[in-house]
Chains A and B, each alone.
Chain A
Amino acid sequence: MSFGMGMPASTAATLGTMADSAAAAVAPRSRRYRPGPPDEVFFPVTPMLDMAFQLLAFFILTFKAPSAETHIDLHLPATPAALPSGPRGRARPSPSRAIDADLENDLLVRAEADDLGDLKALRLGGAILPDLPALGSRLRRYTQLLGNRPLRVRLVADDRLRYEPAARIIATCSAAGVSSVRLAQPGAIPALRGLLPGPGAGGGAR
């Protein structure tokens, strides 16, 4: 081990002892040796500040204002008739289609639109609901009752309904813990045919 200037440790220790002896000889014996105040230690902050400013400039330049955008995930099974594997003999049973057969027993959310396309009436099954929070609280109750079993909802809405209230319904269902939301054609559910307005009033089903 060596110290600065390539000096061996033993030499440095010897020199240190000699210097102490010389200082003791020069100083009057009546005075005790008191070390002076230590030199002020300067920490070089400038390079660190340069680096910090570089980082700050980078983050400011790449900063994007927080967006309120979010997304609602939907799993809508591919339509079996159009799947390309049928004619080529590669048809495989899809789990989502197997689940789709159970959807006859799922909850139906019915949204009716007024002439301007706004939400006029909202029903869960046969019950009329006053607003979306009521729908959310009912769905949350059903989710708790079902426990681990998935709760699925079919949305049957008038085609002339504006997309915004429809998106709010879907978001409410999703936030209430509904595992799957399907978008049904207005005339596709036999149980509701009597409840639905005709094609002239509700917009034609696809």
Chain B
Amino acid sequence: MATRSTSMISPNLTPLLDVVLQLITFFMMLVHFGSRLEGADRAVRLPVAPAALPGSDLTFDRLPVSLDQRGELRHGGRVLSGAAASAWWAEQAKIRRAGLELLPGPSLGDELPTVVILRADRDASYGTVRRTLADAQEQGFAQFSLVVLRREQP
């Protein structure tokens, strides 16, 4: 009569643990890389500028806007053009000035500290981009960040 072996079979989990820890390290390292800026819009294809350097961290006070191929301003699902866009910039500046007056501490001056993050379509004309920035400048916005791609994305 054959005897049954009673020894416990224990698989060697150490290599599996090694692989899992490697994977965890990989994902942890990639967590901070290539963070996508807010305000992405499917209607906007960003320009590719290989010479652009990796951007620095942006401040807390940000205003993301998009500019589509036709030169229309997009923000939060709204599409604005012409006088409506200018009025929107004025409204945003007014809201931010009202907020700044409530903050304690010294005044920051006439220029707003808000960083305008502009996602403009690659096929939009430079003139519409420049006029959009000029509209914002007229309302006191001075810090701008142009979002570009460093390489073509699939």
**Most-contacted residue by chain A among B112, B117, B128, B150 (CB, 10 A):** B150
Given known pairs A59-B28, A76-B142, A175-B52, the reply for A52 and B17 (CB within 8 Å) is yes
Contact for A96 among B46, B111, B131, B147, CB less than 8 A: B111
Contact for A75 among B54, B143, B149, CB less than 8 A: B143
Q: Does B73 contact A (CB under 8 A)?
A: no
The stretch of A23-31, A102-110, A164-172 that contacts the partner chain = A164-172
A66 to B138, CA, bound (A): 36
Given known pairs A71-B146, A162-B126, the reply for A78 and B47 (CB within 8 Å) is no
Q: Tell me which residues across on chain A come within 8 A of B137, comparing CB atoms.
A: 76-79, 82
Name B residues whose Cβ lies closer than 8 Å to a Cβ of A.
10, 13-14, 16-17, 20-21, 23-24, 27-28, 30-31, 33-37, 46-56, 58, 97, 109-112, 117, 120-131, 133-134, 137-153
29 intermolecular pairs with C-beta atoms under 8 Å apart = A45-B14, A45-B17, A49-B13, A52-B24, A53-B20, A59-B24, A62-B31, A66-B33, A69-B34, A69-B36, A70-B52, A70-B149, A71-B55, A72-B145, A74-B143, A77-B111, A78-B140, A82-B139, A83-B140, A84-B97, A94-B111, A159-B125, A161-B126, A163-B122, A167-B120, A168-B51, A170-B146, A174-B51, A175-B51
Known contacts A77-B142, A82-B140, A83-B140, then 19 further A-B pairs from the complex at CB < 8 Å, ordered by chain A residue: A64-B36, A72-B49, A72-B55, A73-B143, A73-B144, A75-B142, A78-B110, A96-B111, A136-B51, A159-B125, A160-B127, A161-B125, A162-B126, A163-B120, A163-B126, A166-B126, A174-B51, A183-B130, A203-B127
